[in-house]
Structure 1
Amino acid sequence: MPRAAWSAKRERQYEHIKDSLLERGESENTAEEIAARTVNKERAQHGEARTANPQTLKATPAPVRGGKNSHRGPQGRTREQLYEDARRANIRGRSRMNKQQLEQALAR
């Protein structure tokens, strides 16, 4: 980890991410690796790194993305994500709908 190049803000960010991962049950090594990669990616996207992968520079930063790419696999978005979209669209009866019904209501 090139921690010498990190600012105080990035150090705090690293510790916060690492602690969060440890609370979720990740191992120490895994938590350190994920936290370092996350901080390095953030540094690259904000122009703080000497070199950066062009793909990293094109990617939307996590704070802006806000989970929009999550749950895109075979099962799709979670019921909670669908419910929030239905709430924003003001769909009536949404609280009684299951995941499939929410997907259908949002597709209309």
Structure 2
Amino acid sequence: NLNAPLIVLGNFLAGVGVLFIGPSPILPFLSVNIGVIAVGLAVLGSFNNCGLIPTRNCLFIGAKNLGFENNLDTHGIVSGMFSSVYCLGAFVGPIVSGVSVQEIGFRHSTTVFASFFFVSV
């Protein structure tokens, strides 16, 4: 079962990618240039889905362990809940990040949001 290792690896490396996008002040050896930001975006784009796709599969396994039948209804409910929470994050995320950038700046905001990835590991 590769779900848990993929989630851990995906979230950790996506967090590293976010640190490079700023680049984060905790990485003082990185300067703000297009190359560093491009590497950060490539890493984030490559590994973000390693954290998302297995999560949905784990939700199906959890529903089955809770006694739900493995049928179309269960898959519909689990997929619907996953999509709803994902879309809620897509709505709330830009609002919170906009306030964060205004209050503490872009480089510090990327550090805060990278920490969310690291905490989820």
Same fold (TM over 0.5): no
Over alpha carbons, which structure has the higher Rg?
Answer: 1
TM-score by length of 2: 0.26
Instruction: Return the structure number with greater relative CO, CA threshold 8 A, min gap 6.
Output: 2
Q: Give the number of the structure whose residues are more often helix, by fraction.
A: 2
- Normalised TM-score (structure 1): 0.27
